[in-house]
Every structure is written in C-alpha cells, then in structure tokens.
Amino acid sequence: MDQFRVGIIGATGMVGQRFISLLKDHPWFKVNCVAASARSAGKTYREAVGDRWAFDWPIPENVAEMTVMDASDIDSIGQKVDFVFCAVDMKKDEIRALEENYAKHEIPVISNNSACRGLNDVPMVVPEINAAHLEVIDTQRKRLGSRYGFIAVKPNCSIQSYVPALTPLLDFAPEKVSVCTYQAISGAGKTFRTWPEMVDNVIPYIGGEDEKSEQEPLKLWGHLEDGENGKVIVNAASPVISAQCLRVACSDGHMAAVSVSFGKKVTKEQILERWNSYETEAQRLELPSAPKPFLQYFDDPSRPQTKLDRDFQNGFGVSIGRLREDKIFDWRFVCLSHNTIRGAAGGGILTAELLARKGYLKAKK
C-alpha cells in the first residue's frame, strides 16, 4: 500500500487529539499537516493545544513542533496532504461550505462532523456495516464538479454501540427499537477538568442527539438506487427507533440499553450465533485498524462496563451483554463502544483505510 500524507482539520480539539494519537505509528497514514481556527494558526501544535491536551501520554514528537495552519488556507494545505480528516466545532452551514471547498480543491475529506450526513450522495460509513455505500462517491463528484475530491462522513458516536449489534440481526426484520444511551463527556469535547459540573452528575439532554440517534441508523441500513447523476443512498424505512440520550459522568465510552421487537421469531441462540460469527469486508480486507472480532458478547451479567471494556480491540470493537427477554418488546440487551475511537477518530481512520484499499484515495507522487 502507498504511504499517504494526511492533514487533520480541527487538530487541537478532542477528536483531533485522538487522530494525532492514533496515527502516531500508522502503517499507511502519516500526519503532515495540522490545522485549526485562526486563533491557533501560526503557533506550534504544542502551544496551540496548551493545557487542553486531554491524555496522560505526551503529544507525539512528530506533531508537537508542527506549525498549526489556518483551516481556511486550503491551497497551502493542499500542497502538503493527500487527504484530510475533519472534526471542527463550527456552524453546520460553515462546515458544509468548508468541506465542499476542500473536495472541490481535489482534497478528499473524511469527516466527523454532521453537516453533510443527510446528503444522499455522501456516504456515511461504518466499514463493517455499509462499505457498499462508497459507490455514491462518483455521483457526489459530479455534483461538486471534482475529479478526485469528495466527502465521506462517519455517523454520530451515539449510534455506534447499538447499530453494530442490530446489523447482524437485520434479516429477522427488527420493527421497533427503544434505546437509551449513556454518553461520556469526551463526546462533548470535555474532560472532568474542563467540565467540573459533570462530576457526580447526569444531564438528561444532549442537543440534537435523540434525533440523530433515531435517523442515522436508517441511512446506514439504506440501499442504493439510481438517481439523476448516478447511484444515491435511499434510507431504510424501518425499524422505528425511539431514543433518549443522557450525558453521564464517564470520561470515555458510550453505553446503550436497547429493547427490540422483530417481525420474525428469533431465539437467544440465534442472536448469539449472529453476534459471535459476525465478520465483514473490513476484516476480510485486513484493514490495519479492523478489529478481529468486531463484536464480543459477555455471559457475565455485570459486563460490559464502561471503564473495563471501552478499550476492547484498542477501542475499535463493540461489547454486548445482558441479552434477555423483554416484557414489552421481544429482546433487550446493553452494548458499549469507545466514542472518540470507534465513534469518532478511529472510525474515521478505518473508513480511510477502506477508501484507500478500494482505490478512492491516491498518494500524490
């Protein structure tokens, strides 16, 4: 595989810091540019991050002394990179304009932001679930007038515990899903130091999160149809999902408690067999970050636990437990994923690995 020069837009933020940490020894991708707002531009990365560095390991040496660039300086950034990861805290319309501008400048964008997730020619990818959706990139390129540039996005972190658990069960026709998520504070870009009000607390509201958690799974489970310019994604019509998303006093890791009813009868043994044998293209292609296995099930009813299990498969795997009959629905269970690894930066890296393997990313010589 070629070596790719990578830029991180929003490098000083929580997700950006995670990208920098995860890419330290990546076999294909080398960080060659860090960018953020005009506030950070011109400083070294170490200075720009200052005391916001969220981890107990040091800033990787290859990045610490890099000069942070202004994310809007697309021409200069384009000289340094083959593609960028993007995770910025800006208004939605500004993010969409920024990302489309990169794509039109022939710089592919793998985005953690929600601004372009609703577009039917922008693939929203979890490689283990809907790798086939990459096909819509050709349609998107026609809309943007780009030859090579495009945007691929990741779904919201909240759905990445329960959608992987439900996907192997789709042929049992899930009809109704009720989910309650228990989401860590790093999902808001915070630590207990920067958000002391969260110590010993639960906040029952995360703006926009219930809606994303109900709608985004339907795009992941959507199918491809011919549109005016080529293939587009058509969302799945079912199941109906009802979500309540709570912020809880955990540093990392999003837990979800799920109840589900199915159109077809399904036994506990069948569900467990599906979870235990779930293998996908990401594993078959031997993508460097693909977890093997992707899913683990605990018989111990006290697991998964956020603190003990969020780092399963270096944070790329999903843990499930407590599968049992439900008095209102058919089955219920709990599941857990690492929100800034599987749910954000790590999922972005895995998506980029898939894009590289499938020839959508090219290293400029």
Interface residues with ligand NAP (CB under 6 A)?
10-16, 36-37, 39-40, 71, 87-90, 112-113, 157, 186-187, 189, 339-340, 343-344
Of 151 and 157, the one with the shorter C-beta distance to ligand NAP is 157
The amino acid occupying position 21 is: S
Of 128 and 330, the one with the shorter C-beta distance to ligand NAP is 128
- The token duo for 289 is 């970050």
Side-chain-side CA neighbours of 156 within 13 Å: the count stands at: 24
Of 146 and 340, the one with the shorter C-beta distance to ligand NAP is 340
- Asked if 150 contacts 131 with a C-beta cutoff of 8 angstroms, the reply is no
Q: How far is the CB of 8 from ligand NAP (least distance, A)?
A: 9
Q: How far is the CB of 190 from ligand NAP (least distance, A)?
A: 8
Closest CA to 86 of 357, 365, 351: 351
Of 14 and 335, the one with the shorter C-beta distance to ligand NAP is 14
Closest CA to 299 of 327, 342, 268, 254: 268
| Active site residue ranges | 157, 254
Of 157 and 260, the one with the shorter C-beta distance to ligand NAP is 157
Centre a 10 Å sphere on the Cβ of residue 205 and count the other Cβ atoms it contains.
Answer: 10
Q: How far is the CB of 124 from ligand NAP (least distance, A)?
A: 12
- The token duo for 307 is 């603190």
Question: For ligand NAP, which residue has the nearest CB?
Answer: 13
Distance from C-alpha of 125 to C-alpha of 159, rounded to nearest angstrom? 12
The amino acid occupying position 77 is: I
Longest dimension (CA), the chain: 61
Residue with tokens 């860090």: 34
Q: How far is the CB of 18 from ligand NAP (least distance, A)?
A: 8
- Asked if 290 contacts 350 with a C-beta cutoff of 8 angstroms, the reply is yes
Q: How far is the CB of 257 from ligand NAP (least distance, A)?
A: 19
